[in-house]
Structure 1
């Protein structure tokens, strides 16, 4: 989020009427819903690109971080997540806060990228913030710095307060994060790295979990999901898309006929932040017409390892393939092969890699 020119700062501030929840008090732990309602706001979008620099656009970066944050939260904890936008859509500031307020969100987290020639990370609460906003900022700030500093050198610009619309007009604890400077070469270099984007998203998720006292979730502080609809999934034209099963992870999944002569694997590209042991989980719908011996391939550091899964049962949930030593880097880490003597369609849906 840029502070230059001044008109853009005024856009973030919006109208100056105070929101009803601006000076609210922190609810007791028992006041939270059994399933926390988390509102994530990817800054800008659509006709509003936000800050630009070094061949990057703020709106694209905030959406990428927000989607990954949502996926990590849903993969590791029982939470309800709503987003102001999940695509490159134009959404006004008023529409964002109105939507969060009407939904009854427990917290509001707005994700931005900075500009103006500086470097590092900073976070904002409202100028007369509630105790809940202060505590949310404390948790987010600490966890985001810890996660990003695990993969890079990041300057701490501090915890700040500002009269931004999304902080003022939301009726629940609210924090806005500024994740590096898009117009600074060093920061932009980090924002172009998949492992840094993953770390930033993980920091947001861990900070939110800490605020609600949800515990460690994935345990080691890293978790990422790659769905078949993602650009990080690749498969030949033999892998068709279907939304037939309600057990699918998201909008659809892929399926292919088995083949005893060629692998024709579909692959999930994963950014592994550091070398080490990781759990690999898979999600698939189950049906009697699906394959009873589907080969999953894990590109472990010592060589590919294959785990055979019966996709006729255990669908609609995460299934653990085991723990594998993975090298650091951004590469095709998990695959699904068509090469099997099993019968029925081979299905590729979603993959999760976590510590």
Structure 2
């Protein structure tokens, strides 16, 4: 277990990259002292062939922002971000080492903006003397039961790719409110934003979850979820699309975007509340599919569920949530949480590192 000799001057920089922006938060212990959404222009992003190529641009922009705001950059000891699509790992905090950087750049488990987290953290740590880079609860945290890995064909294996950081943070928050240990509860947890993942949490382990990245579970604002396989195979061989276009169709331009032309639940909700019946229908259809996935996790937990916990931007959609809750309320008590602040959750992990209260693990690939 590492100790970074915490004292009041030690600061934590938490970063959360998204496609058009990066959220950053600077913390002294658990106190936020600076928060900023740093926008990245489409022109700047187009200079790179992939997400990994944006690392330098984003890092320089973040560093410049901190300097221009006269922040005590030299006092930053921990730079922490979400973990990306590396090889499967156990839950926890990992040092960003050379092997992780190599695997993030290669996209060994997939290509997504989340891979920038560890890369930007490492680049910033190089720019700040005395700082170290970490990631917390990567999206490839793997605690699946072996039976959950079976896909239906020997050529394929179900993978654990879900919102581990957000789901585990909400689960622990709920456990604290009911004065129980997370490891003593059975929970169904849903993170519902641009992507949607539903996890079955059995006594502190996520034993099953839909793979929300590229084709499993409900559709979401940007992602198609599970589509008819035969039709997808036919489309692949139709000659109409390249592999890259088809992959974007599933992961970026699917879901609500394909039906309504908007990438987020807020815009779809606005359309629905202004009388757009098509928007109402597809928000309800999305809720229907989420409810089906929650129902499947109920069976994974053998019907023994203490609570259903829902978080993410979609909890603010009245049309979506009314439909969803009407379908799942008889399964178990439902609790909703305002969209989890990933920057705050990351900073808390950074605080534990400084205090020596968490074991920092080494990524081996």
TM bucket by the smaller chain? 0.3 to 0.5
Q: Computing the radius of gyration over CA atoms, which structure comes out larger, 1 or 2?
A: 1
Q: What is the TM-score of this pair, normalised by structure 1?
A: 0.33
Q: Which one has a larger percent helix, Structure 1 or Structure 2?
A: 2
Q: Which one has a larger percent strand, Structure 1 or Structure 2?
A: 1
